Amino acid sequence: MKVRVRTWLRALASAPAGRTPAPSGLPPRWSGATRTAFRFGFVYAGLYCLTSPQIHLALRGGGMGRRQEAADAWAKLWAIRPVRGWVSARVLGRELGDRFDGGDDPYTWAGQLCWLAGAAAATPVWSALDRRRTDYATLDQWFRLAVRFCLAGQMFSYGAAKAVPLQFQLPPSKLVEPIGDLSPMGMLWAQTGSSKPYQMLLGCAEIAGGLLLIAPRTATLGALLSAVEMTQVLILNLTFDVPVKVHSFHLLLLSLLLAAPDSARLAEALLTDRPVPPSARPGLFRSRRANRIAAALQTGAGLWLLWAQLRNDWSFWKDHGGGREKPELYGVWEVSGFSVDGEEHPPLTTDTRRWRRLVVDSADGAAIQHMDDSLDPCGAVMDTEARSLTLTRWADPTWQATFAFLRPADDQLVLEGEADGHRLRLHLSRRDLDTFPLVGRGFRWVQDTSYLR
Whether residue 363 contacts residue 353, with contact meaning beta carbons closer than 8 Å, is answered with no
What's the pLDDT at 28? 72
Q: In the chain, pLDDT over 90 holds for what percent of residues? A: 65
What's the pLDDT at 24? 47
Q: In the chain, pLDDT over 70 holds for what percent of residues? A: 87
- 289/295 Cα distance (integer angstroms): 10
What's the pLDDT at 27? 57
Of the candidate ranges 69-78, 117-126, 300-309, 419-428, the one whose mean pLDDT is the lowest:
69-78
What's the pLDDT at 23? 47
Average pLDDT, the chain: 87
Q: Among 58, 63, 282, 276, which residue's Cα sits nearest to residue 148?
A: 58
Whether residue 289 contacts residue 182, with contact meaning beta carbons closer than 8 Å, is answered with no
For the ranges 84-98, 141-155, 310-324, the maximum mean pLDDT occurs at 141-155
C-alpha to C-alpha distances, 136 to 42, 88, 328, nearest whole angstrom: 11, 35, 63
Residue with the bigger pLDDT between 250 and 264: it is 250
What's the pLDDT at 1? 45
Where residue 323 falls among pLDDT bands split at 50, 70, 90? Answer: confident
What's the pLDDT at 383? 93
Residue 289 Cα to chain centre, angstroms: 37
C-alpha to C-alpha distances, 48 to 12, 51, 116, 410, nearest whole angstrom: 35, 5, 10, 55
Helices (H) and strands (E) in the chain, counts: 15, 11
Supply φ then ψ for residue 407, to 5 degrees: -120, 85
- 273/277 Cα distance (integer angstroms): 13
- 74/403 Cα distance (integer angstroms): 44
Helix (H) or strand (E) holding 266: helix 263-271
- Model confidence pLDDT, tens digit, residues 12-66: 344 444 454 444 445 578 899 999 999 999 999 999 998 888 898 898 887 766 6
- 168/142 Cα distance (integer angstroms): 36
Supply φ then ψ for residue 433, to 5 degrees: -60, -25
- 71/122 Cα distance (integer angstroms): 26
Task: Examine the pLDDT at 75 and tell me if it is beyond 70.
Answer: no
What's the pLDDT at 443? 81
CB atoms within 10 A of CB 414: 15
Quote helix, strand, coil % in the chain, to nearest 5.
55, 15, 30
Where residue 89 falls among pLDDT bands split at 50, 70, 90? Answer: confident
Residue with the bigger pLDDT between 396 and 96: it is 396
- Model confidence pLDDT, tens digit, residues 282-310: 788 889 999 999 999 999 999 999 999 99
> Is the model's pTM score more than 0.75?
yes
Residue with the bigger pLDDT between 9 and 245: it is 245
- Model confidence pLDDT, tens digit, residues 394-405: 999 999 999 999
Q: Among 384, 385, 367, 386, which residue's Cα sits nearest to residue 376?
A: 367
Task: Examine the pLDDT at 449 and tell me if it is beyond 50.
Answer: yes
- 96/1 Cα distance (integer angstroms): 68
Task: List, in order, residues 6 or more apart from 338 with CB less than 8 Å away.
Answer: 344, 345, 347, 354, 355, 424, 425, 426, 427
Q: Among 405, 342, 395, 337, which residue's Cα sits nearest to residue 367?
A: 395
CB atoms within 10 A of CB 325: 10
What is the DSSP secondary structure assignment for residue 92, as one 8-state letter? I
Angle at 321 between CA 316 and CA 325, to 5 degrees: 105
Where residue 79 falls among pLDDT bands split at 50, 70, 90? Answer: low
- 302/381 Cα distance (integer angstroms): 41
- 330/359 Cα distance (integer angstroms): 8
Beta-sheet pairing, 355-362 with 331-340: antiparallel
What's the pLDDT at 444? 81
When the candidates are 2.40.160.10, 2.40.240.10, 2.40.128.20, 3.40.50.720, the CATH number that belongs to 331-437 is 2.40.128.20
What is the DSSP secondary structure assignment for residue 273, as one 8-state letter? S
Q: Any idea how long the chain is?
A: 453
Domain positions in the chain are 1-27, 28-320, 331-437
- Model confidence pLDDT, tens digit, residues 159-213: 999 999 999 999 999 999 999 999 999 999 999 999 999 999 999 999 999 999 9
Whether residue 125 contacts residue 275, with contact meaning beta carbons closer than 8 Å, is answered with no
Helix (H) or strand (E) holding 380: strand 375-383
Alpha helix positions (H), 272-343? 288-320
- 115/92 Cα distance (integer angstroms): 15
> Average pLDDT in the 379-385 region?
93
What's the pLDDT at 107? 80
